[in-house]
Amino acid sequence: MDKRFDDALRRALAPNDEVNQRLKQKILHCVEEQGTMAEKQKMKLSVAAMAAVFLLCVSSVTVYGAWKYMSSSDIAGRVQDRKLAEAFRSEHAQNINEAQCYGEYRVTLLGIISGELLSEYPHYHADGSIDADRTYAVVAIENTDGTPMPDTSEESYGELEFFASPLICGYNPAWVNIANMSGNFTDITEEGILYRLLECDSVEIFADHDLYLCVSDGMFYNTEAYLYDELTGKISRNEEYEGLNALFSLPMDPSGANPEAAAEYMAGLGTEPDILTEKLYVELEGTFEVEASEGNEKGAAAAEYALQFVGNPYVWGEDSLTEGTDSSGFTMSVYGYLGISLPHSASGQRESGTEVDALENAKPGDLVFYETPSHVAIYIGDDMVVHAMPKTGICISEVDFDTIAEIRRMEPE
């Protein structure tokens, strides 16, 4: 498209213009103003330019919205985060500019980006370490009747209540949302539009799931505004809800998914209703002994060896029994000490050994796998396991602290 047309289009699109025939004529008039008197005699809009005008007149959400609103980078700059502003300008950012209208509001998802150390203001864990991998998104919220949103310095701003959060297919959004994903947000108001910059732990590791971003009225996740299908894990809008319940699909490259990291992350949240926290932490009685049976001497030795590391830290992706390990690193290192090689992944370990058909037939040393989250533990007997849990470290739990997916017995090489 001719640069003159592009410039004219920008000049014509004032925030309050309606996308209609009057706007079309305004665009054409601006185009004519770009040329000299001689050029006006020759200048004709190309087919592509005319098509662009037509598309603009029938669908304003993307083109019109992109120029109506501040960009995600602009918003990051407004909150004095130059590093994040630069990240939003990079090729890794997703510029979306999709609008939805529900209740009394129009919500536009402007952009989203995930990555490590994107902000000048990193989020810290309770132990003082940096939570490096984060997701950032920007939404614009405005009144559909055109009245301006209050400035964040005004008293009436305190009366507004909006909840914005990424959601993950397969996980109950009432339990897994920005509130328990180390999230926070910053609001600013510009020309009557409220912009929210929100952040939370990275959702990119879940890129093999359907991902969403919800914006609803209220301060917390609204179970009446959205529907969660426990069978399929799908999240959808409740069409009968009369308030604001926008729901956007997030474009994520599935190649960025990390199922092992995602499973361990979910284990660390400890908020899934299937995980019974009261069964997570057990102290062995002084009389407890790992029982060895004929043919299972090596399994019993694995269980006995594993118990000496209780209390040591959890570190995702590592396999040190003393300095830090994740769940599959823990089982891999324990069995590696006994001369049995296992892969450093729970899914890979489920391909090893032989299946045990029922919990009552489990023996010390058997590996117990949990589906949600994908997690592995070592059975020690008396309906208990030892395993590496995020935030807690290596601990002892009752075997049914979560739903058991499979039990497998490792065989000597």
Q: What is the pLDDT of residues 59-78, one digit of tens each?
A: 334 444 445 799 999 999 99
Same domain, 234 and 117: yes
Same domain, 305 and 368: yes
The answer to whether 213 and 224 have CB atoms below 8 angstroms apart is no
Give 79-103 pLDDT, tens digit per residue.
999 999 999 999 999 999 999 999 9
Same domain, 37 and 81: no
144 pLDDT more than 60: yes
Distances (CA, A) of 40 to 51, 281, 334: 20, 80, 81
- Does some domain include residue 126? yes
pLDDT for 178: 92
Of 62-76, 91-105, 113-127, 394-408, give the lowest mean pLDDT range.
62-76
Same domain, 25 and 152: no
Q: Which of 207, 225, 256 is the last residue of a domain?
A: 256
pLDDT for 220: 86
Of 10-14, 127-131, 161-165, 383-387, give the lowest mean pLDDT range.
10-14
Identify residue 140 by its one-letter amino acid code. A
Report pTM. 0.56
- Does some domain include residue 267? no
Pick from 286, 285, 268: which is nearest to 277 by CA? 268
pLDDT for 16: 40
Of 168-177, 301-310, 325-334, give the lowest mean pLDDT range.
168-177
State how many domains the chain has.
Answer: 3
Tokens of 171: 């996980």
Q: How do beta strands 105-116 and 133-143 pair?
A: antiparallel
- Does some domain include residue 405? yes
SS3 384: strand
- CA dihedral of residues 61, 248, 144, 242 (deg, nearest 10): 140
Helices and strands (DSSP H and E) totals, the chain:
11, 20
Percent over 70 (pLDDT), the chain? 80
> What is the CATH number for 81?
2.60.40
The answer to whether 345 and 355 have CB atoms below 8 angstroms apart is no
Domain that holds residue 350: 277-409
Same domain, 224 and 196: yes
Q: How do beta strands 319-320 and 324-325 pair?
A: antiparallel
Same domain, 376 and 348: yes
406 pLDDT more than 90: yes
Count of beta carbons in the 10 Å neighbourhood of residue 80: 10
DSSP letter for 218, please: S
> What is the CATH number for 305?
3.90.1720.10
pLDDT for 270: 61
- Does some domain include residue 195? yes
pLDDT for 232: 84
pLDDT for 55: 41
